[in-house]
Each structure stands twice: as C-alpha cells, then as structure tokens.
C-alpha cells in the first residue's frame, strides 16, 4: 500500500513547506500548531494527499480526534494514515492568529508545489 519512499511529490512538498516561516514561533503565548495528515484513498487516480489543519492541542491528540470522529474532517477521518510532523516542525508552536494564517498558506504552497490532493487549510 505505502511505498517506503512515500508519494513521488513528498520531497517537493517538504521544500514548499520550508518556504514558510512563523514569526511567533516559540514566542510567549505560542500554543498553536499547524499539522499535516497523510491521506490515502485507493479509489483516486492519485491516491495520496494531505490534510492541513491547525490546533491548540497536541497534533497527535488532534489526529486521534479526527480518527474518532470528534470535530473531524471527513477526509482526515476516512483517509488519514498518519501525521507528517517533519513537514511542519519548523513552524510550531506559534500564536493562534498565525496558525490560522499559516494553515491557509501551507495548503496553498502545497497545491502550487504539485500535491494533487490537498484538504483543509481554512
């Protein structure tokens, strides 16, 4: 199911994510994070994708909440495989206002980088 090297676009997604910075990273009051979930839907022509979200909780807990159906994205609940913390570790933690902005910006740069299926980011 999952090739050890990952989807062909994953390296490009990492490069695109690294173009973003968080000005409030580790600042006082920085308790929010953006997170990326690897998606897989074998019915799609390109089965791999990403869900981008932001949270004031630990991203691992938030992923578990998606999978359990609590305030869940349909895509993350149904197709979420695992978190990709290395995609966003250079951004976290940050203040709430910046997490909202970077959630949207990250989804956009990933689409522009050629990730064929990006959910969330709003």
**DSSP-assigned letters across all residues of 28-68:** TT--BEEEEEEEE-TTSSS-EEEEEEEESS-HHHHHHHHHH
Return the pLDDT at 45: 92
Inter-residue contact 121 to 107 (CB < 8 Å): yes
pLDDT tens digit sequence for 23-65? 999 999 999 999 999 999 999 999 999 999 999 999 999 999 9
What mean pLDDT is predicted for residues 3-12?
Answer: 78
pLDDT tens digit sequence for 93-112? 999 999 999 999 999 999 99
State the pTM of this model.
0.93
Cα R_g (the chain), whole angstroms: 14
Query: Which H or E run contains 14?
Result: helix 10-17
Return the pLDDT at 122: 84
């Amino acid at each position: 199911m999952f090739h050890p090297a990952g989807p062909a676009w994953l390296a490009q997604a990492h490069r695109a994510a690294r173009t973003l910075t968080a000005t409030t990273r580790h600042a006082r009051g920085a308790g929010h994070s953006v997170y990326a979930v690897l998606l897989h839907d074998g019915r799609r022509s390109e089965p791999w994708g990403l869900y981008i979200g932001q949270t004031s909780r630990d991203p691992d807990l938030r992923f578990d909440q998606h999978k359990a159906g609590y305030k869940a994205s349909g895509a993350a609940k149904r197709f979420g495989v695992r978190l990709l913390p290395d995609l966003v570790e250079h951004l976290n933690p940050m203040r709430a206002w910046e997490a909202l902005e970077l959630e949207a910006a990250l989804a956009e740069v990933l689409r522009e980088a050629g990730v064929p299926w990006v959910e969330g980011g709003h």
